Amino acid sequence: MQALHWDGQILRLEADRAIPSLTDSMALVRVRLAGICSTDLQILKGYMGFRGVPGHEFVGEVCQGPSGLMGKRVVGEINFACGHCAYCLQGLARHCLDRRVMGILGADGTFAEYVALPTKNLYPVPDTVDDESAVFTEPLAAAFEILEQIHVKPSDEVLVLGDGKLGLLCAQVLHTAGARVTLVGKHVKKLTIARKLGISSILADELGQLKADVVVEATGSTAGLTRALSVVRPRGTLVLKSTVTEPHTLSLAALVVNEICVVGSRCGLFSPALRSLSSKAISVAPLIEQAYSLAAGADAAAHAAQPGALKILLRCS
């Protein structure tokens, strides 16, 4: 098969990589579309020390596995859990002590023609959801995870810092939950997308003294946390979504003085994401900028890394 391989220095196409082998509990998926996200770009900067095939956002079809899934379009959870450690037994498989993470930690990912996943990680895609929407399931699930972790009230003022793909998804999810959401970013084009979806938006330079009950940090930058901490009201909640490679320092005194609750937020449940895509409650089409062939994957990654870029997709099959 063809696949993009990251060796720690260069992302290059391998034209004759072996198709992944399977155990009894796994399925082989032919990848239709894969999405490039900020975490992938951090991988290409050294995050997690990953070596192999990157990528974890995808939609594909099962070509080897249980008969009930054969030929079906699927998306899949990225954490490969052991199923028997203390965290798995508590229902916290995403925090499994021995987990592998597709395209991030110890498991090849989706920038390839085929990917192997545990069967239990797969979710059939409703017929009402096209491939270009289904490929957003994983990041949309991460946005919905906020609602699993905190109670958002209709009276809450919410600031989402970062107008990238994840920030736009988080803003939509919190907006549909009834909160008063403002998206804060640096790119007029992206903020305009939010406004067209009925979500208030503002340029970061114009934030001024605005404060909020809930602040979601999704800038993908080391400066984002400092900014986020400065705009949370006393006894407010700060939700951290960014993963960055670069080290950074921060005074935590404001967390204590202002009694701020900090919530780390990572992966989420796929079912609410698929339901919202099926019902069209969340709009993802405006977030797509361009699709590349797998052979042009290095160019696609360079495009995705450009400031202001929206979602870049790879057509893998």
Query: pLDDT for 157-175, tens place per residue?
Result: 999 999 999 999 999 999 9
Average of per-residue pLDDT values in the chain:
94
Query: pLDDT for 58-117, tens place per residue?
Result: 999 999 999 899 999 999 999 999 999 999 999 999 999 999 999 999 999 999 999 999
222: helix, strand or coil: helix
- Alpha-carbon distances of 154 from 157, 178, 214, 216, 239, rounded to whole Å: 8, 5, 12, 16, 17
Burial class of 287 by CB neighbour count within 10 A (0 to 12, 13 to 18, 19+): buried
Confidence of residue 246 (pLDDT cuts 50, 70, 90): confident
Give residue 252's pLDDT: 85
Q: Does domain 140-264 have CATH number 2.60.120.1440?
A: no
Give residue 89's pLDDT: 94
| Sequence ranges of the domains in the chain | 3-136+284-315, 140-264
CATH class, 3-136+284-315 region: alpha beta
